[in-house]
Structure 1
Amino acid sequence: MKKAIYPGSFDPVTFGHLDIIRRSASIFDELTVGVLNNNLKTPLFSVEERVKILQEATKDLPNVKIDSFSGLLVNYTKEKDIHVAVRGVRAITDYDYELQIAQTNHKLSGGELDTIFLTPNLEYAYLSSSGVKEIASFHGDISMCVPEFIVKLVYEKYGFGEE
């Protein structure tokens, strides 16, 4: 069985993330979307909320499971017997950053963890969770960035109530 992990913060999950999830799910027998509990960031949504949101957003993908982890990705993948990480890259700046992480993970895993890079569909190449949060914080329209049920949740976090 070919297993992979798509790790990230997903705060919030965007159409770009969902594009990478769907395409990765078509490549691998089992895809784990790993929600990172990163103590260095102050997330909009808790890890538990992000897991629930992703479960709802991927409920039509039977080979996708959602989990959370903290610490090093290589430790999690070793524990779960996963040998491929999937990363999305939108631009060359993403690639430079992600390449360093991929090389570090490969070294830390003793060569047991490889990384594949997928570029998002061009219609989502501009999307980032931080951009979505910035737009939403000014009560801008984020409906072209995230699924409708997430729009409502994001606006509620910013105190805008029902939209």
Structure 2
Amino acid sequence: MRVVVQSAPFDFGAEAESFGAAAGVGAVVTFTGVVRDAGGRLAAMEIEHYPGMTEAAVTKITEEAAQRWDLADVLVIHRHGRLEPGERIMMVATASAHRQAAFEAAEFLMDYLKSRAPFWKKEFTADGAEWVASKDSDEAALGRW
């Protein structure tokens, strides 16, 4: 299990290639989030966090997922700092003996990261900067777990 919070870009291919090699693994699921520019107005997004607190919170939920779905391995990478449209924000990877567990655990982690992980996002457009508010749909997605 590995949780990484970093400002630097990550190499998805290298991370995916080195993940999930444990004995008994029959399924590996990966997801990568990208800075989305809906409407063509976004210049950048800035993601803030509290070092130490963020890693601890994400590690705790990652450990819960690993136990709940009997995962062989879990990887969560989340970036912070200034990111431009098209850049990778995060990656979740899960490995399990069976695909259902790997898919469900990955979805659970993504829902958690979107709605509960201690990251704060600010969007920058030509009109100025604005903090990103939580969405009811993100809360509803987390509620199914």
Assess same fold via TM > 0.5.
no
More strand by share: 2
Output the TM-score relative to the length of structure 1. Answer: 0.28
